[in-house]
A and B are shown apart, each in its own frame.
Chain A
């Protein structure tokens, strides 16, 4: 069966520090991969999605970036965090044929202080 791992679960970082969140998927090949952010009481905001290795689409211009170095690995990064980067970050995957039926990782609660 397919599983998705995301870590860390909680992160507290000072303003201006770098960020690296990692997500891996097991049990499937060539998944579509997504990074979402959810502010408290708000809907899901798509940050990046990828349909293959090295293929990244950015939905929102900001100081975050994403990379997909391997088929089932998706990394969210920042060189310098802002206060506004605080939020709940979710990695998700879907099969090639089922865009929309997403399977989410457990999420990372990021607090930038």
Chain B
């Protein structure tokens, strides 16, 4: 079966750095996506990785290791507005998105 695992909840302090991990087992791989979802709102696209390595976009970076079936989202200089759920999704060999259940990130002052 296809499976994506990410921690249910994480807590971090304002101004700090947090890493949210995602491991996957899917039928083929055609890219990994990270989305941010604030409570009661729709998800918004954050990043896309299809090759191994780190993609940096401002305070957010996303890393991929295809051989390990592993990705992480790194958030630096945390702000209160970063409190949200972060969803990992993998595009499989049929170009369908397989979604993780999301990681709820709580930022404390």
Bound-state CA distance A6–B44 (Å) is 15
> Looking at the complex, which of A11-19, A66-74, A76-84, A102-110 is the stretch in contact with chain B?
A102-110
**Looking at chain A's contact residues, is the secondary structure mostly helix, strand, loop, or mixed?**
loop
Bound-state CA distance A109–B41 (Å) is 10
A90 touches B42 (CB 8 A): yes
A100 touches B89 (CB 8 A): yes
> Looking at the complex, which of B13-21, B57-65, B76-84, B90-98 is the stretch in contact with chain A?
B90-98
B-side interface residues, number (CB < 8 Å)? 22
B residues in contact with A109, CB < 8 Å: 40
Chain A interface size range: 10 to 19
Determine how close the nearest CB of chain A comes to the CB of B20; give it in whole angstroms.
15
Most chain B CB inside 10 Å of its own CB: which residue of A43, A45, A103, A109: A43
> Does B101 reach chain A (CB closer than 8 Å)?
yes
Bound-state CA distance A26–B91 (Å) is 25
A102 touches B101 (CB 8 A): no
Determine how close the nearest CB of chain B comes to the CB of A89; give it in whole angstroms.
10
A100 touches B100 (CB 8 A): no
B42 touches A44 (CB 8 A): no
B residues in contact with A43, CB < 8 Å: 4, 87, 99-102
> Does B31 reach chain A (CB closer than 8 Å)?
yes
Starting from the known contacts A46-B96, A90-B43, 13 additional A-B residue pairs (CB-CB under 8 Å) come to: A43-B4, A43-B101, A43-B102, A44-B87, A44-B99, A45-B99, A46-B97, A99-B91, A99-B97, A100-B33, A103-B45, A107-B40, A107-B41
Residues of B participating in the A interface, judged by any CB pair closer than 8 Å: 4, 30-31, 33, 35, 40-45, 48, 87, 89, 91, 95-97, 99-102
